[in-house]
Amino acid sequence: MKNAFYIASRYLISKKGSTAVTFITWLAAFAMVAAVAAMFIIVSVFSGLEELNKDMIANLHADLTIKSKTGKVLPDINKIQNSLKKNSEIAHFSKLIEEKVYLSYKSNGEIAYLRGVDSAYTSVNPIHENIYYGKYPDFKYSNEVIMENSLDNRLSLPVNSSQDFATILMPKPGKGIIQQENDIFNKKDIFVSGIFPGNDQLDNYIIAPIELAQQLLGLPRSACYQIVIKLKDPNIAERVKSNLLKELGNKVIINTKSEENAAFWKMINTEKLMIYLIFGLVIFITTFNLAGAITILQLDKKEQAKSLIALGFNKPNLRMIYFFTGLLIVFFGIIAGLVIGSALSIMQIYTGFFRASETLPFPIKIELVNYIIVSGVALFFGLSISWIFSKVNKRYLTRD
């Protein structure tokens, strides 16, 4: 085994019988380097995007969310609030109502989502930190709101204007003959005090005091659709959820942050799997250069093989020589590829040279699991191809 490994290392670094053989051997090595580096960089970018999305979700959704099991309005709201106040593992909680509304300003109109929140909402979701123009409502007036950027742009609605107001229209529940517009909608004029950036989770949103939503829906002041909770330790969410369910009974549903965003995480995991499959296929195709290198090397070294047979080597020994040669090429490709991939990733982290947009550089996160996955995929295909193509063909040992 040691002799086979030594000879394989000499085959790799020594001068070949032909320039073409040398070229093909190193082409296989550098193709492996390029494939491993590319896979590591892409997987690290994906890890960075996943972390970025996690941060966005963390600011959009609470550690726990309580909803009604039947209907929209939470039952026994006073009992729920008292239980939450007594729970020492809960840092903050906030009531909210969310409904679809029609927003009208002059000749423009848009369907939007109204999220009515109480004054404790920013302790659970620090959305006030994301406002880049204007200010967060001070809750002195129920019609003072903040609006998502793209929605405000489409309506051309001025911010902090004491003369221009938009109108929110909410369909009225109930039955009867409709005789005029007031029989169809509840209306409220709103004053926009600030603008926050939108994303996939908060597109077309208006955030307002919960009293505005209660007035539009004709609900009592204590009513809400959800209670969102921030825990002192987010890692114990499952335990707190279990305890609250025992205490509050079966009239409510409690979701953790991951359960509230199950579709999002399913999409993320599917994309991650596709990335691994695509770049696994790239490395698999790259390893066929390795197959060509091993085959050409056998042809180039057939005279030496005959000499080794004469010295007592058998076919399994020869096979191990070519297998170790392929293995060395694979190890070189993995190590060099990971070094280059890591260097480029670190450069991107510190410089942000490559950008997804004018303001957002491609996020990168270097994780140990990425090294393991990339090395594992490359090693699996490299070992398989080296073993399959290291088989010694009889015609290589016959005399001319």
**Residue 360: pLDDT over 60:** yes
Short-list 84, 51, 100, CA closest to 247: 84
Q: CA 50 to CA 265: how far, in whole Å?
A: 9
Burial class (CB in 10 A: 0-12, 13-18, 19+), 30: middle
Q: Is 142 helix (H, G, I), strand (E, B) or coil?
A: coil
pLDDT digits (tens, 9 = 90+) for 142-157: 889 998 888 888 888 8
> Cα–Cα–Cα angle for 174, 178, 179, nearest 5°?
145
User: What total number of domains does the chain contain?
Assistant: 2
| 335 plus 378 within the same structural domain | yes
Q: What confidence score (pLDDT) does residue 29 get? A: 81
CB contact at 8 A, 71 and 224: no
Do 273 and 231 lie in one domain? The reply is no
Domain boundary among 206, 228, 257: 257
With residue 67 as reference, give the H or E element that holds it: strand 64-68
Position 393 pLDDT exceeds 60:
no
Q: Please provide the average confidence, as pLDDT, over all residues in the chain.
A: 80
185-196 and 144-148 strand pairing: parallel
Same domain, 390 and 247: no
Both 209 and 286 in a single domain? no
Return d(Cα 80, Cα 93) in angstroms, integer: 11
**Which whole number is the average pLDDT over 24-30?**
78
Average pLDDT for residues 376-390, to the nearest whole number?
83
Same structural domain, 14 and 72: no
Instruction: Verify that 17 and 161 share a domain, yes or no.
Output: no
29 and 175 share a domain? no
Same domain for 188 and 39: no
On whether both 84 and 205 belong to a single domain, the answer is yes
Contact 222, 80 (CB under 8 A): no
**Domain residue limits at 70:** 62-257
Residues 158 and 43 in one domain: no
Q: Tokens for 130?
A: 């994301």
Q: Are residues 83 and 145 in the same domain?
A: yes
For 180-234, the pLDDT digits (tens) are 556 677 888 888 888 888 665 667 889 999 999 999 988 898 899 999 999 988 8
pLDDT digit string, tens, across residues 295-304: 776 666 666 6
Distance CA 336, CA 326 (A): 15
pLDDT of amino acid 400: 47
Domain end (from 230, 257, 284): 257
Q: How confident is the model at residue 97 (pLDDT cuts 50, 70, 90)?
A: very high
Q: Are residues 74 and 192 in the same domain?
A: yes
Q: Which of 215, 234, 257 is the last residue of a domain?
A: 257
pTM check: above 0.75: no
